[in-house]
Amino acid sequence: MNSDSIPPLIEKNWQSITSHTLWRISSLLDAVRILLKDVDDGEEQDLGKFTMTIGTGDPTIAAGLYTFAIEEYGKYLYLKSLEPVDGKYHIDYLGEFKNHPKKFERALSNLPDECKLVHLGEKEDTEFYEPDFHKDIIADFETRLRIFYSDFDPLFANKISKYEPPVSVKLLKNGVQKLWDIVELEHECLMKIKNDSTK
């Protein structure tokens, strides 16, 4: 066996990693809630015109953490989709479990619209000419990279730096609550399966 694969999981270990994944999602959502606790979700912040001040959280970092919760939900859905073969669960470790694009694709295609966006683009003419203000910003891997890592526009590296995307606090708070509710239901179902299997 090489480092790219893992041995099949017995049911107990499959339940453990699946439950742990849900717990990690809840922990990430808790962290996002803490960062947003004292942040007003008024119109001014929906346009991204906020600054980090003492006593308030950072909506942009909160959105970045939220993308981790979305990705972990995609991992959970992958684990949930597995059917045992001879009583064991076979994990496609690199192709699915560790694959960022596939986990995001799985999560975003299964979540309701309220959970998918951290900014709803302005469709009408506004005073802002920054393109990001006019397009929807999805809670995906690209958004995470833009939030957590400094970068340059490759065509204008000496002139224009790339900035983090705008974040709608109201949209983010709604998405966090909706995903929280979904994860709670999934956890209840998982506990029921676990309890039924021990009877």
Residue pLDDT, tens place only, 172-184: 999 999 999 999 9
Q: Where are the alpha helices (DSSP H) in the chain?
A: 11-36, 43-46, 59-81, 100-110, 141-148, 169-197
Alpha-carbon distance of 121 to 48, in angstroms, equals: 11
Is there a domain that residue 2 lies in?
no
More confident residue, 46 or 88: 88
- The pLDDT, as a whole number, for residue 129 is 47
- Most distant CA atoms of the chain, gap in Å: 66
Is there a domain that residue 95 lies in?
yes
Is there a domain that residue 3 lies in?
no
Give the structural domain span for 85: 9-197
Is there a domain that residue 4 lies in?
no
Give the total residue count for the chain. 199
Is there a domain that residue 73 lies in?
yes
Q: Are 146 and 162 in contact (CB under 8 A)?
A: yes
- The pLDDT, as a whole number, for residue 133 is 55
- The pLDDT, as a whole number, for residue 194 is 76
Average pLDDT (121-134) is: 56
Number of domains in the chain: 1
pTM of the model: 0.83
